[in-house]
A and B are shown apart, each in its own frame.
Chain A
Amino acid sequence: NAGVMQNPRHLVRRRGQEARLRCSPVKGHSHVYWYRQLPEEGLKFMVYLQKENIIDESGMPKERFSAEFPKEGPSILRIQQVVRGDSAAYFCASSPSGGWSNQPQHFGDGTRLSIL
């Protein structure tokens, strides 16, 4: 049973380029969450998606960041025109059904994004 798979594990981009981070949830999970973690800090929520729908994007920066979870294929977190401050570890988590409260989330090992 594969867990949450994120790729790439490490991504290096130059300022102004685009970064695409992919997340395949646990098989059978239809809810995906993206988080960002800066060194020595906890995780900060970015966006919560269900298949083809954005449920909560209150933690997502208004510009340059977007996320999708299509009917087929992985969830994608896209960062356009990256800046140095985007350097961080980005984690994806999934759960079998919706709601924040009553279920643990299953996490991938993250994508470490470095901006030169």
Chain B
Amino acid sequence: EAQVTQNPRYLITVTGKKLTVTCSQNMNHEYMSWYRQDPGLGLRQIYYSMNVEVTDKGDVPEGYKVSRKEKRNFPLILESPSPNQTSLYFCATRDTWTYEQYFGPGTRLTVT
């Protein structure tokens, strides 16, 4: 079964404590992406990766890092989280030449 998994699903943390949200897909897709969703602001793209070792900024990359060392995984790293990064985060993947994206279940992050 085609799957995009994210961990953790829920996380409450404190300002400044580094955290990583993992994303994994089993569809052998080259493209992966991270979004955040906030009330009234919709889905906004943070970073995307076109292939292993290739990443690029989306619309709201400040305060985030990503890495793509293998095709199936695309972790999102918050080196020093702040309360304005409290949000619902989604990882997505798609085949390169189509816009048919598959999203993970989401990670709800609260930074106090």
A and B part of one assembly: no
Chain A contact residues, CB within 8 Å of chain B: none
